[in-house]
Amino acid sequence: MKFLIAGAGAIGAYIGARMANAGFDVTLFARGPHLRAMQGHGVQVKSPEGDFVAHPAIAGSLEEIGPMDVVFLGVKAHGLPQLTPQLKPVIGPDTTVVSTQNGIPWWYFQGFGGEWEGLRLERVDPGGVISAAIPAKQVIGSIVYFSTEIPSPGVIQHIEGNRISLGEPDGSRSDRCRRIAEALIASGLRCPVTTRLRHEIWVKVLGNASLNPVSALTRATLVQMVRDPGVASVIRSIMEEVEAVSHKLGMELPVSIDQRMAGAEKVGEHKTSMLQDLEAGRPMELEALVGAVVELGERVGLPMTCTRTVYNCTKLLSQCAASRQPM
């Protein structure tokens, strides 16, 4: 199989480097200094499990690549509206597209059934540009459970974790999921195939929609937030509202709010991805992680009082931070 990492940032380049190191035919698509550094020196991975340098094919243009068997979407959710219309040269009729984004994915209600079938969330897929570019039947979902960052162009720092769950939106166990999972496992990653991907998404959203924006507002680590009584109360209220939305959609979460809070505390002095983006001057994943949940709350008739308040404050924070960035 021929694999493409479309958007070889911290997550995508790590997956691609692992696969290239295991001998798979993988191409990384990137731009700017990161592209040039990887072209010149390969992908340098720094990891507690051992450092290595991988040499996958590196491309700065999708036009030069051609149709691929599997395309991993490696950009963050807010980068998809810009990326996906450019993917036409690499997506053939049999190409499988793997989403790796946090939050509520654009494909969530495709094949969902019932009254919510085909619902498009404007905050995730503005104007329908993503769903227009990627046929629903070619999408596989994934949930990434590892942490990576780019300390300098061409260098990937693997912090912790190695699991990525795969799943068909319809809950089936497909051959294409199995084949991709086998390739990822052979590359040194843990890759279970789940039939309950939408339930897993909500477990992660439970933390992402609460811990991420509150961390951006407070600049606090996970353990600092959950051990502060006042802040922990806000986080718990958001989790309760998120859980209520999931129940309205027929989802029963396999973990409790107490378990989710305890899990966050166990991670310790860790900064959320949203706080890391804020401190680095990058756009935050606000709409996919929080805005989409607020939008869904409106759809199902829930007020989302606490979530909406934190969302609005974080959105203004994001706008103020963007206005201070040098042009």
Positions marked catalytic: 204
**Burial state string for 157-176 with b = 16 or more CB within 10 A and e = fewer than 16:** bbeeebebbbbbbeeeeeeb
Distance between CA atoms of residues 257 and 247, nearest Å: 14
Residues 6+ apart with CB under 8 A from 23: none
Distance between CA atoms of residues 307 and 291, nearest Å: 9
CA atoms within 13 A on the CB side of 51: 6
87 contacts 167 by C-beta, under 8 angstroms: no
Q: Please, what sign has the CA dihedral across residues 264, 157, 191, 175?
A: positive
